[in-house]
Structure 1
C-alpha cells in the first residue's frame, strides 16, 4: 500500500483531472452526442426513404424490408463513428465486419438470389395476390408473395411454395392479367356428316350463349382435314372468370347437340385386313 500512497502524493488531483478525467470525459460526451445525433439523422433518413417508397406505391413488404435493412446499416455506421470519437482504431472493426458480411453472403448466396428475385417480382409486378398463374411448372392462385418465396394455392386446395429465383428465372404465365380470355377448342366431325350444318350449329350455340362476348367476335372455321375427321376450330372470347365454366358447358352441349342432329364425332379406328393364302 505504500506505493499507492507515494503515487497519490506524487500526482495531484488537478493533474488527474487535467490529464485523464477531462480528456476522457470530453471524448465520452462527444461520442454520446455523435451517437444520439447520428441516430436521429439515421431515423430521419429511414423515414424519408420509406416516405418516398410509399409515394411511389412500392409494395409494403419491400418497404418494410428496406426500412429494416437501411436502419440496421445506418446504426452500424453511427456506432463505428461514435467509437472513432473515443480514439479507438475502427479499421480492424470495419475489416472484421466486412469479412463477416462476406462470409454470411457466401453462406446465404441461394437465399440472396431468392431475395434479389423477390425484389424484382415486387418492383415489376408480373402478377399480384389473387391472380391465377403458372410458374415453375405449378399452376394456382397467388396466395402470398414474400421476399424469398411465392406461395400458390392450386385448384385442389394444395399450397405450393416456390422460391422466388425459380419464379423469376422461368417463364411466367398470368391468366388473370387481362379481363378476357379466348377459348380454343377443336371439334371434329366425320367425313360423312354435313359440314355446313355442323358449322351452323356451332355458330348458333356460341351466339346464344350470353357468356360469349360479342366483341371480339367469336370464330368457327374448318382448320384441318385430318385422317379420320374434319376439324373445326371454335374460338369464343369470354370473361376470364367464365373461362372454365364455358369450356365445360360448351363441350357437353356440343356433344348432345351433335347427337340430336345426327352429326357423328369420330373416334380413332383401325381396319385390320387378313390375307388368307388358301
Structure 2
C-alpha cells in the first residue's frame, strides 16, 4: 500500500496531466458526436429545401455524419497521445480500395445527385440523352428509367446520361416544326408559296405568335426547297407535324405542283 501511495506521489504531475488530457478527449468525443449529428441534420434539411429525393438526402447526410464523427475520434485519440498517422493511412488505403472497386457505382451515384440537384429534366419530360430518347418515368440514385414511344423501358446508368448532351423536348411550352418541302424547277414559286401558306393558315393548332416562316432556302440539284417553320404548343407537335405533311402533299397535288423524287433514265442502243 505504501508503495502505491509513494508511486502516486511521485507521478502525481504525470497522472494529473494525462487525466486532464483524457477529460479533454472525452469532451471532444461528446461534442464531436453532437457536431456530427448537427452537420448531418443540416445537410438533410438543405436537401429537403432543394426538394431533392429523400433517399439521396439521407445517404449524403449519413456520409457527412460518418466523416465528421471519424474526424472527432481521431482528434480525441490524438489528444491523449495516441499516434493517429497509422490510422489515417489505413483509412486512406481502405477508402482507395473501396473507391476503385466501386468506381462505376460511385460515378452513377454522383451523376444521379447532379441530375437531382441541377434538374436538367424531371419525371414526365421527353428527353434525348445517352443516345436514347423517351419519356422520363423514374429518377433513381444509380439509374434513370425511360419509356420510349413504342412502349419500351430503358434503364440507363446516370453516368451515361451526364457524360453527353441532354436534349429536353418538354422544358419549353412551345416548339417549332421544321419542314423542308421541295418543288420542281418548272413550278411557279409564287403559287407554291401561296399553297404552303394556305395550308398553314387552315391549321388551327398553329400559334400566331411567333408567326410561321415560309421561304426558299436552297436551289438544290433537282428541286427548289422551301423551309416551312410554324410554331405549336409542345403537346401538339407530332399530331400537327403529321397532319401538315399530309395536307401539304394533297394541296400541292391539287395545284399541279410536283414534288421531285429520284429518277433514273435508261437508254437502250441497238447494235447490228
Query: TM-score surpassing 0.5?
Result: yes
1:170 to 164, 172, 176: 164
Equivalent in the alignment of 1:266:
260
Gaps of 5+ in 1: 1-8
Q: 1:240 aligns with which of 234, 243, 249?
A: 234
Moved more, 95-104 or 109-118: 109-118
Matched with 2:130 is 136
Q: Does 1:183 align with 2:177?
A: yes
1:102 is matched with 96
Q: TM-score normalised to the size of structure 2?
A: 0.80
SS of residue in 2 equivalent to 1:228: coil
* Paired residues for 1:23-172 under 5 Å: 35-55=29-49, 57=50, 59-60=52-53, 62-81=56-75, 89-172=83-166
> Aligned residue for 2:190?
196
Cα distance in 2 between the residues matched to 1:117 and 1:53 = 16
**Residue among 221, 226, 248 paired with 1:254:** 248
Q: 1:83, CA displacement in angstroms?
A: 5.5
Cα displacement (A) at 1:45: 1.9
SS in structure 1 at match of 2:150? coil
For residue 182 of structure 1, report the CA deviation from its aligned partner.
1.0
How much has 1:215 moved relative to structure 2?
A: 1.1
Q: What number of residue pairs does the alignment pair up?
A: 265
Shift of 1:200: 1.2
Shift of 1:91: 3.9
Distance in 2 (alpha carbons) for counterparts of 1:224 and 1:97: 66
In structure 2, runs of 5+ residues without a counterpart are none
Q: Distance in 2 between matches of 1:158 and 1:65?
A: 31
